[in-house]
């Protein structure tokens, strides 16, 4: 088991946008192994069953309540796991390492393109057009996430 002197000292806490996060189990396993503090944030509409090593924060059921909590609590050097590109963009500007459940590390130089693509898809849907949704989440996505997550924490 690694101790905190081996880990990157700038990383304080792992925050998880937990409402629809498919890699909760993987996050818990890695954080417990490396003894990293983790905070799972979800709305009242979602019930989380997690071990006592996890701090669980439950927020209001309003549309952006989880995002607002994370924007206010996450600090430079923390890690946040989220699928939300807009939230990732805001957290990147704060010096947070942001990782998607598929193992994609959001970067300053690519986030604008991701936001533009999201905007165009939303615009097409509002006009009645059909757009592609996300690809099904697979075991290979879990493995890629775990690999990247371990790399970030070490």
Q: Which of 17-21, 44-48, 118-122, 139-143 has the lowest mean pLDDT?
A: 118-122
Residue identified by tokens 């490396």 is: 34
pTM here? Answer: 0.81
Q: Domain locations in the chain? A: 13-128+135-153
Q: What pLDDT, in 10s, does the model give residues 122-142?
A: 666 677 777 676 788 999 999
Cα dist from 124 to 36, 83, 132, 135, 151, whole Å: 42, 21, 11, 19, 37
Closest CA to 115 of 141, 107, 37: 107
Q: What pLDDT, in 10s, does the model give residues 37-93?
A: 999 999 988 889 999 999 999 999 888 899 999 999 999 999 999 998 889 999 999
- Split at pLDDT 50, 70, 90, the class of 3 is very low
Q: What is the mean pLDDT of residues 4-29?
A: 80
Read off φ and ψ for residue 124, nearest 5 degrees. -65, -40
Closest CA to 83 of 127, 24, 11: 24
Read off φ and ψ for residue 13, nearest 5 degrees. -145, 145
Distance CA 25, CA 21 (A): 10
Domain 13-128+135-153 in CATH 3.30.160? The answer is: no
């Amino acid at each position: 088991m690694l101790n905190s002197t081996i880990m990157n000292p700038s990383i304080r806490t792992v925050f998880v946008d937990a409402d629809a996060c498919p890699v909760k189990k993987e996050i818990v396993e890695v954080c417990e192994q490396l003894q990293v503090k983790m905070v799972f944030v979800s709305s009242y509409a979602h019930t989380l069953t997690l071990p006592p090593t996890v701090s669980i924060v439950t927020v209001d059921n309003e549309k952006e309540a989880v995002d607002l909590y994370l924007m206010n609590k996450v600090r430079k050097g923390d890690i946040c796991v989220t699928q939300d590109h807009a939230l990732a963009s805001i957290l990147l500007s704060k010096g947070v390492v942001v990782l998607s459940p598929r193992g994609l590390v959001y970067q300053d130089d690519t986030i604008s393109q991701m936001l533009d693509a999201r905007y165009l898809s939303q615009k097409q849907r509002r006009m009645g057009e059909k757009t592609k949704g996300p690809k099904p989440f697979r075991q290979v996505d879990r493995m890629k996430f775990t690999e990247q997550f371990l790399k970030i924490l070490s």
